[in-house]
Structure 1
Amino acid sequence: MAPQQTGSRKRKAPAIEAAAASSSSQGSEATNGEGPLVPKKQKRPAAQRSLVHYLKGREVGAQSHAGLSSFEGELRRYAVRKLPELLCESELALGTLNKVFASQWLNARQVVCGTKCNTLFVVDVQSVQITRIPLMRDRGAGLARAQPSCGIHAIELNPSRTLLATGGENPNSLAVYQLPTLDPVCLGDRHGHKDWIFAIAWMSDTVAVSGSRDGTVALWRMDPDMFNGSIAWHNDAGLPVYAHIRPRDMETIPRPSTNPSNRKVRALAFSGKNQELGAVSLDGYFHLWKVRSTLSRLLSIRLPYCRENVCLTYCDELSLYAVGSQSHVSFLDPRQRQQNIRPLCSREGGTGVRSLSFYQYIITVGTGHGSLLFYDIRAQKFLEERASASPDSSLGPTGSKLKLTCGRGWLNHDDLWVNYFGGMDEFPNALYTHCYNWPEMKLFVAGGPLPSGLHGNYAGLWS
Structure 2
Amino acid sequence: MAPQQTGSRKRKAPAVEAGAASSSSQGSAAAGGEGPLLLKKQRGPATRRSLVPYLKGREVGARGRAGLLGFEGELRGYAVQKLPELLRERELALGTLNKVFASQWLNARQVVCGTKCNTLFVVDVQSGQITRIPLMRDREPGPARAQPSCGIHAIELNPSKTLLATGGENPNSLAVYQLPTLDPVCLGDRHGHKDWIFAIAWMSDTVAVSGSRDGTVALWRMDPDIFNGSIAWHNDAGLPVYAHIRPRDLETIPRASTNPSNRKVRALAFSGKNQELGAVSLDGYFHLWKARSTLSRLLSIRLPYCRENVCLTYCDELSLYAVGSQSHVSFLDPRQRQQNIRPLCSREGGTGVRSLSFYQHIVTVGTGHGSLLFYDVRAQKFLEEKALASPDSSPGPAARKLKLTCGRGWLNHDDLWVNYFGGVGEFPNALYTHCYNWPEMKLFVAGGPLPSGLHGNYAGLWS
TM normalised by structure 1 equals 0.84
CA distances 1:159-183 after superposition (whole Å, capped 9, x unpaired)? 0000000000000000000000000
Unaligned runs of 5+ in 2: none
- Give the conservation status (yes or no) of the 8 Å contact 2:369–2:429: yes
Change in Cα spacing, 1:413 to 1:7, as seen in structure 2 (3 Å) is farther
Q: In 2, Cα distance between the equivalents of 1:426 and 1:109? A: 30
| Alpha-carbon offset, residue 238 of structure 1 | 1.2
- Give the conservation status (yes or no) of the 8 Å contact 2:21–2:105: no
| Alpha-carbon offset, residue 388 of structure 1 | 3.8
- Give the conservation status (yes or no) of the 8 Å contact 1:207–1:219: yes
| Alpha-carbon offset, residue 73 of structure 1 | 2.4
Match of 1:434 in 2: 434
| Alpha-carbon offset, residue 149 of structure 1 | 1.8
Change in Cα spacing, 1:351 to 1:78, as seen in structure 2 (3 Å) is same
| Alpha-carbon offset, residue 38 of structure 1 | 21
Asked which structure has the greater CA Rg, the reply is: 2
- Give the conservation status (yes or no) of the 8 Å contact 1:386–1:397: no
Match of 1:386 in 2: 386
Give aligned-pair identity as a percent: 91
Q: In 1, Cα distance between the equivalents of 2:93 and 2:217? A: 35
Q: In 2, Cα distance between the equivalents of 1:414 and 1:81? A: 42
- Give the conservation status (yes or no) of the 8 Å contact 2:5–2:183: no
Q: In 2, Cα distance between the equivalents of 1:127 and 1:52? A: 31
- Give the conservation status (yes or no) of the 8 Å contact 2:15–2:180: no
| Alpha-carbon offset, residue 418 of structure 1 | 0.2
Change in Cα spacing, 1:57 to 1:400, as seen in structure 2 (3 Å) is farther
Change in Cα spacing, 1:114 to 1:48, as seen in structure 2 (3 Å) is farther
| Alpha-carbon offset, residue 421 of structure 1 | 0.3
Change in Cα spacing, 1:183 to 1:252, as seen in structure 2 (3 Å) is same
Greater mean alpha carbon deviation, residues 69-78 or residues 107-116: 69-78
Change in Cα spacing, 1:248 to 1:8, as seen in structure 2 (3 Å) is closer
CA distances 1:229-257 after superposition (whole Å, capped 9, x unpaired)? 16532100111100000000000000011
Q: In 2, Cα distance between the equivalents of 1:97 and 1:184? A: 23
Change in Cα spacing, 1:8 to 1:191, as seen in structure 2 (3 Å) is closer
CA distances 1:23-79 after superposition (whole Å, capped 9, x unpaired)? 999999999999999999999999999999999999999999978994432222111
Q: In 2, Cα distance between the equivalents of 1:439 and 1:371? A: 23
CA distances 1:139-165 after superposition (whole Å, capped 9, x unpaired)? 113547775220000000000000000
- Give the conservation status (yes or no) of the 8 Å contact 1:114–1:152: yes
3-state secondary structure, aligned to 1:141:
coil
| Alpha-carbon offset, residue 259 of structure 1 | 0.7
- Give the conservation status (yes or no) of the 8 Å contact 1:434–1:443: yes
CA distances 1:289-318 after superposition (whole Å, capped 9, x unpaired)? 001110000000000000000000001110
Change in Cα spacing, 1:397 to 1:36, as seen in structure 2 (3 Å) is farther
Q: In 2, Cα distance between the equivalents of 1:325 and 1:45? A: 53
Change in Cα spacing, 1:60 to 1:198, as seen in structure 2 (3 Å) is farther
CA distances 1:412-450 after superposition (whole Å, capped 9, x unpaired)? 000000000000011000000000000111000000000
Count of residue correspondences: 463
Match of 1:287 in 2: 287
- Give the conservation status (yes or no) of the 8 Å contact 1:312–1:356: yes
| Alpha-carbon offset, residue 7 of structure 1 | 54
Unaligned runs of 5+ in 1: none
Greater mean alpha carbon deviation, residues 293-302 or residues 52-61: 52-61
- Give the conservation status (yes or no) of the 8 Å contact 1:11–1:405: no
Q: In 1, Cα distance between the equivalents of 2:44 and 2:382? A: 13
Question: Which structure would you say has the larger RCO, counting Cα contacts within 8 Å and 6 or more residues apart?
Answer: 1
Q: How much is the aligned-residue C-alpha RMSD, in angstroms?
A: 12.0
| Alpha-carbon offset, residue 14 of structure 1 | 36
| Alpha-carbon offset, residue 326 of structure 1 | 0.2
Change in Cα spacing, 1:152 to 1:419, as seen in structure 2 (3 Å) is same
Q: In 1, Cα distance between the equivalents of 2:444 and 2:333? A: 29
Change in Cα spacing, 1:378 to 1:2, as seen in structure 2 (3 Å) is farther
Q: In 1, Cα distance between the equivalents of 2:125 and 2:82? A: 23
- Give the conservation status (yes or no) of the 8 Å contact 2:158–2:202: yes
Change in Cα spacing, 1:216 to 1:421, as seen in structure 2 (3 Å) is same
- Give the conservation status (yes or no) of the 8 Å contact 2:313–2:322: yes
- Give the conservation status (yes or no) of the 8 Å contact 1:27–1:458: no
TM normalised by structure 2 equals 0.84
Q: In 1, Cα distance between the equivalents of 2:3 and 2:140? A: 56
Q: In 2, Cα distance between the equivalents of 1:69 and 1:26? A: 16
CA distances 1:340-368 after superposition (whole Å, capped 9, x unpaired)? 00000000000000000000000000000
